[in-house]
Structure 1
Amino acid sequence: MSEPNTPASSPCLLGELPPEAGGLPDAETRRDVMRWRKAERARLIALRQALPVAARVAADRALAAELDARLGTPGGATIAITWPFKGEPDLRAWAAARREGGDRIVLPVVVEKGAPLIFRLWEEGARLARGVWDIPVPPPEAPEVTPDVVLSPVVGLGAGTYRLGYGGGFYDRTLARLHARGHNPRTIAIGYAFQEIPTIFPLPHDVALGEALLVPCS
């Protein structure tokens, strides 16, 4: 790696807030949090993109093996994965094997800015369209499906399994809507060990994930 794994400086006043506080005292401190998150996001993405190919491949294999151990034998679950973006773990081969075993694989689709994600079925050999940021997504004619398991890649992961993402809030909105509709999918944070940080200084809109799976890279 080309940069040390040193967190960005904590924002002003936040030393007074416990990680699980879930609230902020004023607008100025909220701005400090957002500035800190932006800097920490850039630092962690740079570290992730600097990973050597061999280390990334080995780590992704370890992720796949641990996911199989946690989820058990394939056989009918609907699993949401993501197309790898900016050095995220690549679980496409693992997903293909799960599909062959009987699971269904779905991909998230951005409908519009500020809206929750939807999930569309990704079938073997199906044509994919270009979505936001040119990320491949199933086309509009693909069925919309509610997942049983959501594998959520992280930029950073803090105490309480709070996820630092790209700043759009898509997963927070999506999980909040699923919960409001009575759906409680199993949610697993996916990433590498160096992405674990002490806290993301949770805000009221942040939704914690259920489990963490961060593997070492060497």
Structure 2
Amino acid sequence: MTDDDPRDFASSPCMAHEFEPLSGPDLARWRKAERERLIALRLAVPAEARARAAEAVACRLDAEVEIGPDTIVSAYWPFRGELDLRGWLGRVIERGGRAALPVVVAKGQPLVFRDWHPGAPLERGVWNIPIPAESAEVAPNVVIAPLVGVDPQSYRLGYGGGFFDRTLAAMTGPRRVIGVGLDCANIPTIHPQPHDIPMDMVVTEPA
């Protein structure tokens, strides 16, 4: 699989016409079922295999993301079998960049990003995911997004809250969005809607 073209994986984009379009309640039911299926697949992967995949993804991110003094990279605190890239975020800081974690402010609102470094004080956020407790808000120019599912057009299936797409729509200035996950996240389509925003690049690895 090649990263240069984010659409060069899973099935060919020309297959899009073969899928019956979904919308409204039918789409909501399909996405809920597909989300549950994909999370179960991810959780079934042994922790050691996920750790190997995470390191492989981190090595590819090292090659893809140029780090400088103005680079602010947001990633995530791993949740429900997501790849753990906290070690890679630490390497971003060692290379002279800054790191951030996303924070849910309120339902229906974009995420904010807070500065983070290993050892920073944390508190419990939504779903009990740790978030920076005291650090300042920052504006990342590289956003690493965990995948529940992803299609050949780089549209991401997340957890259903809509936070990610609202956040991308609200961001100003140049930013690069990279989806990361296991190969089992690749699906033929998420049935994208007008509010869905594709990622710039996808990096997945087999377990």
Q: TM-score range by the shorter chain?
A: 0.7 to 0.9
Structure 1 counterpart of 2:167 = 174
**Per-residue deviation, residues 56-105 of structure 1 (Å, max 9, x unmatched):** 11101101100001014554410001000000000011111211221100
Cα offset for 1:124?
3.4
Structure 2 counterpart of 1:204 = 194
Structure 2 segments unaligned to the other structure (5+ residues): 1-17
Say if 2:58 and 2:85, in contact at 8 Å, map to a contact too.
yes
Say if 2:74 and 2:113, in contact at 8 Å, map to a contact too.
yes
Matched, 1:101 2:105: no
Identical aligned residues as a percent? 50
Paired residue for 1:15, among 13, 19, 26? 19
The 3 A distance-change label for structure 1 pair 61 and 152 is: same
Cα offset for 1:183?
2.0
Supply the distance in 2 between the matched residues of 1:203 and 1:88 (Cα, whole angstroms).
25
SS of the residue corresponding to residue 73 of structure 2 reads strand
Cα offset for 1:123?
2.7
**Per-residue deviation, residues 28-67 of structure 1 (Å, max 9, x unmatched):** x421111000000000000101111221111011011000
Say if 2:177 and 2:200, in contact at 8 Å, map to a contact too.
yes
Paired residue for 1:184, among 174, 190, 198? 174
Structure 1 counterpart of 2:117 = 123
Supply the distance in 2 between the matched residues of 1:103 and 1:73 (Cα, whole angstroms).
6
Structure 1 segments unaligned to the other structure (5+ residues): 1-13, 18-23
SS of the residue corresponding to residue 45 of structure 2 reads coil
Structure 2 counterpart of 1:149 = 142
Structure 2 counterpart of 1:112 = 106
TM-score under structure 1 normalisation?
A: 0.83
Say if 2:67 and 2:97, in contact at 8 Å, map to a contact too.
no
Supply the distance in 2 between the matched residues of 1:205 and 1:159 (Cα, whole angstroms).
17
Higher relative contact order (CA 8 A, sep 6+): 2
The 3 A distance-change label for structure 1 pair 145 and 73 is: closer
Based on CA coordinates, which of the two structures has the bigger radius of gyration?
1
Say if 1:74 and 1:98, in contact at 8 Å, map to a contact too.
no
Q: How many residues align?
A: 190
Structure 2 counterpart of 1:163 = 156
Q: CA RMSD in A?
A: 1.5
Paired residue for 2:30, among 36, 45, 67? 36
Supply the distance in 1 between the matched residues of 2:20 and 2:44 (Cα, whole angstroms).
34
Structure 1 counterpart of 2:14 = none
Structure 1 counterpart of 2:9 = none
Supply the distance in 1 between the matched residues of 2:183 and 2:174 (Cα, whole angstroms).
26
